[in-house]
Structure 1
Amino acid sequence: MTIEPQTGPLCTRESLASELRALGVRSGETLLVHSSLSSLGWVCGGPVAVIEALLDVLGPRGTLVVPTHSADNLDPAAWQNPPVPASWWDGIRASTPAFDTRTTRSLGVGVVPETLRTWPGALRSVHPQTSFAALGPRAAGIVDGHALDCRFGEHSPLARLEEAGARILLLGAGFDSCSAFHLAEYRVPATRVTNSFAVTTPQGRRWTTVEDTAISSDDFDDLGADFEKTHPVLRGRVGGADSRLFGLPDAVTHAVAWIRENRCRTEGF
């Protein structure tokens, strides 16, 4: 069997930090990062080196935020990748472990967020599906108060990031990963849906159902492309990754107008 050699570029903590600074990441800022480790190349130290590089650039006054979503804490009737037999649904609802900020793994957001989740001093919001983790002096203010019936809205870390004037770094990730666009979905007419998950209550574990705003990232690539036409988006390479850096408040404001124009008209609102 032939073993293929590693492909590059070779990335180190130092090289990543240098390229992040060149892209425009600033010391002391609050930064929401969506990332793809594999897009960077061969990283000496893996996700730990990526986080160390980000922290080196942000410095002690900066705050690093990542999505730590746990998409498997979801009603099994909605599972698609893959679906499970209907005969299993009641058993899954009864047995899914309750969300725990300390032990529930992140899923579907990459290995960098999962590494930050367990980083010493990191804090995590309490939503059982769409939590965020943060590290730095603004962390507590960002993750506190994440309501169970508000995945990405006014009572979520995204709204706190907007208030803080945070920026977004798409580190080898596309606009389809840009969770801030979901905040805009809460500010336009939208369908309400039921959402279920396992949580810990004072009475113990409970399977809980709430009403929340319907969300979809299906058109976020189109939304992001339109955003880039009229707003300053810093672009560059970090390792082998095409990366973008831009203001979160600007992205949300643009997304509200875009969704009103492109979705509400077709959905009849």
Structure 2
Amino acid sequence: MPIRRGGVLMVHASLSGTGTAPETVRDALLAALGPQGTLIVPAFTPENSDTSRAHQDAVAGWSDLEVAAYRASMPPFDPDSTECPTMGALAECVRSTPGAVRSAHPQTSLAGLGPGARKLLGRHPMRSHLGRLSPMRGLYAADAQILLLRVGFEVCSAFHYAEYLMRPRPPRRTYRCVVQDKGNWVSYRDVSLDDSDFGAIGSRLPGEFLTVGDWASKTVVLCGMRDVVGHARGQMAKYRQALA
């Protein structure tokens, strides 16, 4: 299964240790997609939170006073300028490329290049991290391909869309982030996202769903979003409910 020319491709990547510039990878992927294709990457900002691992690691060992000062000084999410440092060099490269489009979610935005990016990423309300109101719905409708470039299914964000499709609906929780002004914390409720079993779910996907290769001594996987989301949803429905 090659990259589909004119299609939509969502890429999760780790370029560490390859010696390859992210611009080179970006350009190769855009060339494979062709002029009508669209390249999408996660541009998540988990550090814009007070419950994420990224935030907790940042304030570990601090006093209450130091944490309060840090929270008050945190800048708001700005889709045009906020970097996505935890998403890897390729994601930051795509996000910062002139002409790139980025969705508006302050914690789980996506960025893209290509003629379909603006339509796919134009709507992303805060109350839907990666659910039916997010760009994930459009990616699913387009049967986007997913490329895991030297990373595993542990980071396959399309599996989160499967969580939103579960019945009965998964539990919800409160999230907090900074928007509009420095230190302006807001709260909202959404599905309690859980990626702890994504690696195991990926390991159980049927082989016919996957095209597997390697690059720079690590595995590369290409698959169709509808196939893997449907299978992930089925897996979650079987054992997550049993554990609840």
CA contact (8 A) 1:76 1:92 kept: no
Greater gyration radius: 1
**Could you tell me which residue of structure 1 aligns to residue 237 of structure 2?**
260
> 1:216, CA displacement in angstroms?
1.3
| Contact 2:71–2:183 (Cα < 8 Å) also in 1 | no
Which stretch of the first structure deviates more once superposed, 98-107 or 79-88? Answer: 79-88
Q: Which amino acid aligns with 1:242?
A: T
**Equivalent-residue separation in structure 2 for 1:205 and 1:140 (angstroms):** 29
Shift of 1:185: 1.0
Q: Secondary structure at the match of 2:85?
A: coil
Matches within 5 A, 1:130-149: 130-149=108-127
Matched with 1:14 is: none
Matches within 5 A, 1:97-136: 97-136=75-114
Q: Is the CA contact 2:8–2:40 (under 8 Å) kept in the aligned structure 1?
A: yes
1:148-178 superposed Cα distances (whole Å, 9 cap, x missing partner): 0111111111111001110100011100010
Cα distance between partner residues in 1 of 2:145 and 2:161: 14
Q: TM-score, normalised by structure 1?
A: 0.83
Deviation at 1:59, TM superposition (A): 1.0
Q: Which amino acid aligns with 1:181?
A: F
Query: Does residue 50 of structure 1 match 2:30?
Result: no
Instruction: Kindly state the Cα deviation for residue 205 of structure 1 after the two structures are TM-superposed.
Output: 7.1
Q: Distance in 2 between matches of 1:77 and 1:138?
A: 31
Q: In the superposition, relative to structure 1, how do residues 182 and 76 fare at CA in structure 2: closer, same or farther (>3 Å)?
A: closer
What per-residue deviation string (whole Å, max 9, x for no partner) do you get for residues 68-90 of structure 1?
11111002686432543333343
Which residue number corresponds to residue 57 of structure 2? 81
Q: Please state whether the residue corresponding to 2:180 is helix, strand or coil.
A: strand
- Quick check: 1:217 aligned with 2:195? yes
Structure 1 residue runs without a partner (length 5+): 1-22
Q: What TM-score, normalized to structure 2?
A: 0.91
Moved over 4 A (4+): none
Counterpart secondary structure, 2:16: helix
Q: Is the 8 A contact 2:205 2:231 kept in 1?
A: yes
Residues 88/194 of structure 1: CA separation in 2 closer, same or farther (3 Å cut): farther
- Give, in whole Å, the separation in 1 of the partners of 2:51 and 2:150: 31
Question: CA distance change for structure 1 residues 77 and 157 in 2, over 3 Å: closer, same or farther?
Answer: closer
State the aligned residue count: 239
Report sequence identity in percent. Answer: 36
Q: Structure 2, unaligned stretches of length 5 or more?
A: none
1:67 aligns with 2:34: no
Alignment counterpart, residue 207 of structure 1, candidates 150, 170, 185:
185
